[in-house]
């Protein structure tokens, strides 16, 4: 394939209608295939994080323990739409927004890559490369804070580029530049998107300083952004946070303290402990990013950035360099920030997710150049790109269908002792969660006398409690004892616990109720907290959880009778709390 520029200008638009049709076709195909996967025997149970966000949506507020109100509002809207169509809060209904967000995020990638590089092939390249990144495939099916965050980050970047982009004619001739006010609307729309995205994940507030670095590095961008409207757009993004800030002020700034705790900024561990963990944490951060990109594409992405930075240094014209400076400096700050944080504490693989958007567009621009370079380098480049996409895509296809291996494993090792499922199943955490709820419900029914309310359910962790609340019939509120046991705070501390006082009687609301208790408790915690809370507690028994005939997990369970109240736990007076 030869270069097909209409003129010798590097800014001439390369028109390839088949690339546009193919890219849009792939996006539409991905959208409908994801919907079909969700609504037709999806093997992935609702994850514990997703269950937590669903539980939040049942108790709407302007803030939550560790996040803003965005994800809860999204799931609430999804379930409300589902009810209009006669569907309850099923797993596909809850996850459908993730499929929609992924489609529009992909559309933003296609649009911006094609427009920034003035090349239809770059638009197709970014879609093809994204198909080989497993984390994008996962994000298109699982509804977490990253899905709406990434969508808002993507379209905010699109708006910012439309506000500052140079104007070229079809043949690549530079046209008279727009006055500053022509990009005002795009600036404020970007501010709106940053503000809305921040309600899901605060990391979007890194976009304005990242853009400032790009402007500092490029005089053309600096000239385009040197307006009071840039500050106005930033203030708009901050103003959207006011309800959440008021909520946090009323709740002792709990969200900020939780985020600080996740980043290792709070806690009793000393400086030397953090520094001793630095080599492991830094190494795990780098490896986790390589894993997210399935190895091959990660190496190619790094090489693309090295080439882009090297080539940018050779370009003296700030207008010609604007594309690269914009992409490089919207991408790198978030990765640099988390890389430096990894010297102090553990960094989760998905934390820098926003930077993937502009990073993939830069990657697509360089990869398009590689794909069309002269022989013999072109052959090697194409082989590596195809291999990277094929490898990453095949990994996700394997994860989507890994349940097909379980019947085989059931014949070889049904106990799961010799070949634990978590060793070969990348989707292990998404399996047997519904089975766990069914097991607990069976125990509840065995304790029920046929009249009165069913036994309560208590657990030791916020994630298990959230999942059980979703998967138990009728969605009863499952009480979490994490903080009462001496663990870290969680969202359940903002909600009434089992020690509620009935305002009409002045007594414990659940006095005398039986309960199913599950989790992991030390003997000290059990003697201090659990035994005094009930008239009688049975001996622990273990419930194996089967997935396609293989034991994948075990539950430690106790039957507890005659609730008397958790010792040493505050007894709030509660009215109209929707728990069972």
pLDDT at 267: 58
Containing H/E element for 554?
strand 550-563
Question: Any idea which residue has 């890219």 for tokens?
Answer: 23
- Is 390 within the bounds of a domain? yes
Number of other residues whose CB lies within 10 A of the CB of residue 564: 13
* Parent domain of 487: 430-563
- Is 477 within the bounds of a domain? yes
For the chain, the farthest-separated pair of C-alpha atoms sits apart, in whole angstroms, at: 86
Which whole-number Å values give the CA distances from 67 to 35, 46, 178, 424, 533, in the listed order? Answer: 27, 19, 39, 32, 32
Confidence at 442, pLDDT banded by 50, 70, 90? very high
Rounded Cα gap, residues 465 and 479, in angstroms: 7
Examine the pLDDT at 270 and tell me if it is beyond 70.
no
Is residue 83 domain-shared with residue 145, that is, in the same domain? yes
Tally the residues of the chain: 580
User: Burial, 152: exposed, middle or buried (Cβ in 10 Å; 0-12, 13-18, 19+)?
Assistant: buried
Rounded Cα gap, residues 247 and 230, in angstroms: 27
Examine the pLDDT at 268 and tell me if it is beyond 60.
no
pLDDT at 181: 60
Is residue 101 domain-shared with residue 235, that is, in the same domain? yes
Is residue 393 domain-shared with residue 449, that is, in the same domain? no
Range of 1-5, 302-306, 312-316, 568-572 with top mean pLDDT: 302-306
Rounded Cα gap, residues 519 and 258, in angstroms: 23
Number of other residues whose CB lies within 10 A of the CB of residue 508: 18
Examine the pLDDT at 437 and tell me if it is beyond 70.
yes
Residue 42: which of 436, 431, 406, 395 has the closest Cα? 431
Is residue 468 domain-shared with residue 385, that is, in the same domain? no
How do 550-563 and 515-518 pair as beta strands? antiparallel
Is residue 99 domain-shared with residue 44, that is, in the same domain? yes
**Inter-residue contact 381 to 310 (CB < 8 Å):** no
Confidence at 580, pLDDT banded by 50, 70, 90? low
- Is 116 within the bounds of a domain? yes
Rounded Cα gap, residues 186 and 194, in angstroms: 12
Is residue 110 domain-shared with residue 25, that is, in the same domain? yes
- Is 457 within the bounds of a domain? yes
**Inter-residue contact 545 to 551 (CB < 8 Å):** yes
Which whole-number Å values give the CA distances from 400 to 37, 83, 141, 192, 447, in the listed order? Answer: 9, 28, 11, 36, 37
Q: Which of 265-269, 382-386, 434-438, 553-557 has the lowest mean pLDDT?
A: 265-269
Question: Final residue of a domain: which of 349, 382, 399?
Answer: 399
Is residue 378 domain-shared with residue 259, that is, in the same domain? yes
Average pLDDT in the 373-383 region?
90
**Inter-residue contact 137 to 103 (CB < 8 Å):** no
- Is 295 within the bounds of a domain? yes
Confidence at 7, pLDDT banded by 50, 70, 90? very low
How do 534-537 and 550-563 pair as beta strands? antiparallel
Examine the pLDDT at 176 and tell me if it is beyond 80.
no
Rounded Cα gap, residues 458 and 468, in angstroms: 10
Is residue 479 domain-shared with residue 546, that is, in the same domain? yes
Is residue 366 domain-shared with residue 508, that is, in the same domain? no
Question: Final residue of a domain: which of 382, 399, 416?
Answer: 399
Question: Any idea which residue has 């169509």 for tokens?
Answer: 85
- Long-range contacts for 520-526 (Cβ within 8 Å, ≥24 apart)? 520/460, 520/556, 521/460, 521/485, 525/485, 525/486
DSSP per residue, 159-199: HHHHHH---B-TTSPBPPPPPGGGGHHHHHHHHHHHHHHHT
Q: Tens digits of per-residue pLDDT, 207-257?
A: 999 999 999 999 999 999 998 999 999 999 999 999 999 999 999 899 988
pTM of the model: 0.92
Is residue 385 domain-shared with residue 435, that is, in the same domain? no
pLDDT at 420: 87
For residue 567, what are the contacts with CB-CB under 8 A and spacing of at least 6? Answer: 528, 529, 532, 533
Q: C-alpha angle with apex 123: 120 to 124, nearest 5 degrees? A: 95
Rounded Cα gap, residues 406 and 319, in angstroms: 57
- Is 424 within the bounds of a domain? no
DSSP 269: -
Find residue 561's DSSP bridge partners: 536
Is residue 301 domain-shared with residue 449, that is, in the same domain? no
Q: Tens digits of per-residue pLDDT, 466-525?
A: 999 999 999 999 999 999 998 888 999 999 999 999 888 888 999 999 999 999 999 999
Examine the pLDDT at 69 and tell me if it is beyond 80.
yes
Residue 218: which of 158, 164, 167, 255 has the closest Cα? 164
- Is 449 within the bounds of a domain? yes
Question: Into how many domains does the chain fold?
Answer: 2
pLDDT at 539: 93
- Is 139 within the bounds of a domain? yes
Examine the pLDDT at 2 and tell me if it is beyond 50.
no
Is residue 114 domain-shared with residue 196, that is, in the same domain? yes
Find residue 537's DSSP bridge partners: 560
Rounded Cα gap, residues 420 and 413, in angstroms: 9
Rounded Cα gap, residues 403 and 215, in angstroms: 50
Examine the pLDDT at 300 and tell me if it is beyond 70.
yes
């Amino acid at each position: 394939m030869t270069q097909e520029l209409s003129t010798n200008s590097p800014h001439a638009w390369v028109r390839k209608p088949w690339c546009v049709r193919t890219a849009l076709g792939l996006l539409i195909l991905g959208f409908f295939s994801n919907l079909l996967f969700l609504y037709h025997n999806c093997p992935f149970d609702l994850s514990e994080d997703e269950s937590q966000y669903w539980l939040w949506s049942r108790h709407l507020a302007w803030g939550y323990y560790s996040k803003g109100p965005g994800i809860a509002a999204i799931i609430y809207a999804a379930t409300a739409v589902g009810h209009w169509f006669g569907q309850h809060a099923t797993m596909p209904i809850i996850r459908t927004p993730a499929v929609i967000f992924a489609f529009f995020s992909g559309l933003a990638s296609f649009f911006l890559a094609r427009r920034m590089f003035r090349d239809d092939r770059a638009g197709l390249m970014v879609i093809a490369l994204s198909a080989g990144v497993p984390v994008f495939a996962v994000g298109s099916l699982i509804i977490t804070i990253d899905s709406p965050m990434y969508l808002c980050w993507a379209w905010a970047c699109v708006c910012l580029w439309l506000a500052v982009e140079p104007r070229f004619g079809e043949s690549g001739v530079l046209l008279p530049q727009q006055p500053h006010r022509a990009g005002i609307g795009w600036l404020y729309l970007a501010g709106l998107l940053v503000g809305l995205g921040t309600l899901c994940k605060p990391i979007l507030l890194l976009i304005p300083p990242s853009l400032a670095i790009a402007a500092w590095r490029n005089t053309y961008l600096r000239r385009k952004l040197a307006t009071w409207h840039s500050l106005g757009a930033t203030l708009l993004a901050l103003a959207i946070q006011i309800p959440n800030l008021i909520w946090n002020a009323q709740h002792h700034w709990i969200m900020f303290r939780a985020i600080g705790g996740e980043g290792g900024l709070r806690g009793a561990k000393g400086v030397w402990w953090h520094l001793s963990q630095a080599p492991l944490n830094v190494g795990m951060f780098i490896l986790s990013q390589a894993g997210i990109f399935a190895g091959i594409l990660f190496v190619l992405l790094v090489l693309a950035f090295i080439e882009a930075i090297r080539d940018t240094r050779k370009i003296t014209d700030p207008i010609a360099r604007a594309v690269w400076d914009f992409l490089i400096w919207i991408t790198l700050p978030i990765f640099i920030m988390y890389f430096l944080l990894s010297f102090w504490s553990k960094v989760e693989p998905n934390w820098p997710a926003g930077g993937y958007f502009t990073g993939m567009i830069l990657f697509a621009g360089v990869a398009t150049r590689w794909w069309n370079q002269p022989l013999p380098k072109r052959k090697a480049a194409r082989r590596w790109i195809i291999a990277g996409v094929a490898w990453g895509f095949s990994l996700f296809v394997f994860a989507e269908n890994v349940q097909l291996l379980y019947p085989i494993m059931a014949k070889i090792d049904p106990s799961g002792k010799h070949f634990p499922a978590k060793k070969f199943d990348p989707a292990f955490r998404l399996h047997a969660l519904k089975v766990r709820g069914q097991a607990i419900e069976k125990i509840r029914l065995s304790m029920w006398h046929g009249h009165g309310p069913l036994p309560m359910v208590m657990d030791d962790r916020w994630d298990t409690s959230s999942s059980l609340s979703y998967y138990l019939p009728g969605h009863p509120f499952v009480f979490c004892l994490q903080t009462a046991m001496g663990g870290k705070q969680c969202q359940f501390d903002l909600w009434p616990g089992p020690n509620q006082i009935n305002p009409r009687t002045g007594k414990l609301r659940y006095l005398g109720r039986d309960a199913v208790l599950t989790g992991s408790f030390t003997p000290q915690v059990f003697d201090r907290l659990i035994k005094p809370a009930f008239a009688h507690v049975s001996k622990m028994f273990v419930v194996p959880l089967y997935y396609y005939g293989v034991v994948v997990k075990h539950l430690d369970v106790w039957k507890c009778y005659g609730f008397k109240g958790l010792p040493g736990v505050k007894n709030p007076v509660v009215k109209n709390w929707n728990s069972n």
